[in-house]
Chain A
């Protein structure tokens, strides 16, 4: 019996900016249909890792596989084809200021010519309803929305093209705890409905437990632990447990003191 190929597999991923080695051999497997949360302190390389997978940053070395295919060995068209199946929710939403909400939501569908422009408003209304927003929001501009609504619109944009992999970068940053929980609930619902594989990065432990079924900890450019998200805080790994409990004393602080 052969082992199932992970949806995403990273091997020996390395990336340096100048003299700073941000990723120092990241190895990670994300099985299909699972929701993986990557934890780590500020500057630990979480965002760089997902930007490498998305093709926004070229790694110095290593291997990135999606469905067993080496992304770095692909030509531009092949990479774009894989990219078409990926959705991304950016930390600050990254909504296009100059476009109304409906056009933001349907941007990928219009770019891929999967819908006509005249059908965009109806399609956007359908997707906005999935994230709890009224169709009338579609005619507003991003600057007219609250932070929570912007996150919902960004989520709607990430799921509109029904991707089979979705990345979430700090989905609850800047939101109050209740809105954070609402966004987490929407993320879980959307990922389940699509049957997608999800990778999230977050500092928020409550959010990590809500949206992840698996978790990984990145520290000093390497994945030092992977396991069940439910076990966070009681993993037996001193670094992970300190981070999950938010304790001042522990190996991470010791490393900072040196």
Chain B
């Protein structure tokens, strides 16, 4: 009877301690990476490569996601708002939803799947094939070489991507609004920008910067700490995507509270 009560509590305690240990380890990893950003040398070439990977090479998938999301949003809002004659609010709903929430969150999730997995797999493979140890023996700090440039690229790159996604998402809504729902183009665009405030865009970009940091942090951390050969690398890749996706959603709530709660 006593064991029936204590065993689940012990398991809960072990799980909590393990979660705290992991959170502490990730925090120390992030702080060390940031400290390397502040001390020379900085590997601009690697930063450029990661930045291009996050922005230019992620653009097709993020652009398609944004355009279709804008289109669906316009369509759904129309069918919903028509019930109480509020169709004129569609353009505002589309732009506010995209800039504040859907742009950063969907771009973050897409980049988590694409870049987080790629970073975890690449660095994880380097770990299990001794390439990270080789860096150390070649007078190069692996954190400075592998992690710091990627973290900066993620933090600066995702807001840029989200800015493009915002524009394309609004364009998707405009396409449906004007060509399918019968809005006058000028009126739709005026309605889009009339209610849009700087904080709507800025908060979305700030969220994107945080999500970019989190995605690259989890990708690099999972890869850096992976072990056990191909299976370990596979597991690191899955963990990187799942962890960054959950963190994006959780942080989205916290940041929304921070920016908009009254």
Contacts and interface: CB of A to CB of B under 8 A. Distances in A.
A55 B125 CA distance: 21
Contacts of A90: 130, 133-134
B79 interface: no
B133 A51 contact: yes
Interface string A80-91: 100110111011
A107 interface: yes
A44 interface: no
A3 B126 CA distance: 43
Contacts of B136: 54-56, 83
Interface in B128-152: 129-131, 133-134, 136-140
Per DSSP, chain B at the interface is helix
A225 interface: no
A83 B131 contact: no
Interface in B49-79: none
Contact of A96 (B131, B133, B137, B139): B131
A91 B131 CA distance: 11
B133 A111 contact: no
Contacts of A84: 139
Contacts of B130: 90-92, 94
B129 A92 contact: yes
A98 B129 CA distance: 13
Contact of A94 (B122, B133, B139, B140): B133
Contacts of B122: 98
A42 interface: no
Nearest to A76: B141
A45 B122 CA distance: 28
Interface residues of B, number: 13
Question: By CB atoms of chain A within 10 A, which of B122, B130, B138, B140 has the most?
Answer: B138
A94 B128 CA distance: 10
Interface in A16-68: 51, 54-56
Contact of A107 (B126, B129, B138): B138
B131 A111 contact: no
Contacts of A97: 125, 131
A163 B136 CA distance: 15
Nearest to B138: A108
Nearest to B145: A111
Contacts of A51: 133
A4 interface: no
B120 to A, nearest CB: 15
B140 A107 contact: yes
Contacts of B137: 54, 56, 83, 86-88
A107 B125 CA distance: 19
Contacts of A108: 138-140
Nearest to B43: A111
A90 B135 CA distance: 11
Contacts of A96: 126, 131, 134
A205 to B, nearest CB: 24
Interface of A: 51, 54-56, 80, 83-84, 86-88, 90-92, 94-98, 107-108, 111-112, 157, 161
Interface of B: 122, 125-126, 129-131, 133-134, 136-140
Given A91-B130, A92-B130, A108-B138, 18 more contacts: A54-B137, A56-B137, A83-B136, A84-B139, A88-B134, A90-B130, A90-B133, A94-B129, A94-B130, A94-B131, A94-B133, A95-B131, A96-B131, A97-B125, A107-B138, A111-B139, A111-B140, A161-B139
Q: Which 8 A-B pairs have the closest CB atoms?
A: A94-B134, A94-B130, A88-B137, A108-B138, A90-B130, A111-B139, A111-B140, A107-B138
